[in-house]
Amino acid sequence: MKFQKICVIGLGYIGLPTATTFAAHGINVLGVDINQQIIDILNRGEIHIHEPGLRDGLNGAIQSGKFKAATRPEEADTFIIAVPTPFQNDEFGKYNGTTYKLADMRAVISAAESIVPFLRKGNLVVLESTSPPRTTIDLVAPILARSGLEAGRDFHLAYSPERVLPGQILRELIENARVIGGVTPESAQAGHELYSIFVKGKIIETDATTAEMVKLMENTYRDVNIAIANEFSRLSDKFGIDVWEAISLANLHPRVKILNPGPGVGGHCISVDPWFLVEAAPELTQLIYHSRQVNDTQPHFVVETVKRAMGTLNGKRIAALGLAYKPDVDDLRESPATEVVHLLQKEGAQVRAWEPFKPTAQMEGINMAATFEEAISDADTLLLLVKHKEFATLDPHEIAGKTNAKVIVDTVNGWDNAVWKNNGFKFFRIGDNKSNS
């Protein structure tokens, strides 16, 4: 296939880097988003998300004349759908006394519908959004058929999961292996040709449903592995040992690689995608379901640890350090840190939160400090919720002079307890019952 113009629908964490990367490789790209504000920001050369290198990439693409953004698609050789697939907040599935979350596919549906008037014979359509198994053939293909054209016969249709890690998106887009699942082998081949424009990693062709499963399996695998680490943290606490020490010793085994416990699993991927498998087959997904439960309830375990450290939470002042879903990103979606803050407040604590990557963020029901100093000055306890580099490098001696707090609770193994203790703090770490001895 020849690719002269690509239309990328959805200009978020995946669509925007994908669009600018194609533009940087000489392809004319129309970026489409329903949000006019985002379009205006991008056309000014600014970005609405934090991702290293993205602003420069966008500016290069705009200056070369290869990228523009609009609210509606146009005719193109290829359409890439990269819209969010969150879960529904108001409806749930039920199976055998359990409740599970359901995928909200509205953005994929309207993206596919928006392509219909512009779809032509010989085009390629690629879905990148993480989706329940069979979405490409059972949901997207029938919508596109409203054009009068049939997927696999008149145009190519493929699923290709994005697998890039926030914080390293631009590098991983190019270097990671890429799976392309076509509704026919020819569709997979067309997708292969498309991504070989910039992908340096291996490109592997398969069928559309396998490609969807690959994506869901990767994130579910990680979720289940984090769940076992979190469960180990609760067990270690019960047995009076330090989970971090135990994990580092277990990981000396050549075939064991236990992940890190923490305040829970956040973000728009790992905390969401396993539900797509549960929804698709609740009778076959007990392990996946229970892993989700463990990770979703980990904020409660954090609150129990804080309670033990402080005696009571009622009326106590807590500085919550970090609200992002993981270190060194500005993304607060599905963040377990915000859940911890809400739970602490329910128990009567007065929490002031500081997120260095989004200092001006407004979060409903959360009292955000304008500066780090403001967050810690009159706190009783400093609660470390995210292992941001700038927290890891704080000097306890300097902090002691800036806060009333005498108690530290570390939920991410971000601080060295001996150093804090030497500076007069009581130190507690989740999953580490030795930390305050």
**Active site (catalytic) residues:** 215, 269
Residue 248 CA to residue 236 CA, distance in Å, equals: 13
Please tell me whether residue 337 adopts helix, strand or coil conformation. helix
Residue 22 CA to residue 76 CA, distance in Å, equals: 14
Interface with ligand SAJ, residue 164, by CB under 6 A? yes
Interface with ligand SAJ, residue 166, by CB under 6 A? yes
Q: How many residues does the chain have?
A: 437
Stretch that binds ligand SAJ, among 69-77, 145-153, 218-226, 345-353 (CB under 6 A): 218-226
Q: Measured from the CB of residue 313, what is the shortest distance to ligand SAJ in angstroms?
A: 23
Question: Residues touching ligand SAJ: how many (CB under 6 A)?
Answer: 20
Buried b (16+ CB within 10 A) or exposed e, 364-374: eebebbeebee
Interface with ligand SAJ, residue 262, by CB under 6 A? yes
Q: Measured from the CB of residue 230, what is the shortest distance to ligand SAJ in angstroms?
A: 7
Interface with ligand SAJ, residue 219, by CB under 6 A? yes
Q: Are 406 and 420 in contact (CB under 8 A)?
A: no
Q: Measured from the CB of residue 343, what is the shortest distance to ligand SAJ in angstroms?
A: 16
Of residues 144 and 269, the one with the C-beta less far from ligand SAJ: 269
User: DSSP assignment, residue 242?
Assistant: B
Interface with ligand SAJ, residue 270, by CB under 6 A? yes
User: How do beta strands 156-159 and 178-182 pair?
Assistant: antiparallel
**What DSSP line would sit under 149-197, residue for residue?**
--BTTTBEEEE----PPTTSHHHHHHHS-EEEEESSHHHHHHHHHHHTT
The residue within the footprint of ligand SAJ, chosen from 218, 296, 328, 374 (CB under 6 A), is 218
List the x/- string, 103-142, binding to ligand SAJ by CB under 6 A: ---------------------------x------------
Instruction: Return the closest-CA partner of residue 302 out of 287, 313, 292.
Output: 313
Residues numbered 301-330 forming contacts with ligand SAJ, rule: CB under 6 A: 325-326
Buried b (16+ CB within 10 A) or exposed e, 334-347: bbbbbbbbebbbee
Q: Are 124 and 22 in contact (CB under 8 A)?
A: no
The residue within the footprint of ligand SAJ, chosen from 73, 132, 191, 267 (CB under 6 A), is 267
Stretch that binds ligand SAJ, among 215-223, 299-307, 348-356, 393-401 (CB under 6 A): 215-223
Interface with ligand SAJ, residue 266, by CB under 6 A? yes
Q: Measured from the CB of residue 434, what is the shortest distance to ligand SAJ in angstroms?
A: 21
Q: Catalog residues that contact ligand SAJ under the rule CB under 6 A.
A: 130, 162-166, 218-219, 222, 226, 259-260, 262, 265-267, 269-270, 325-326
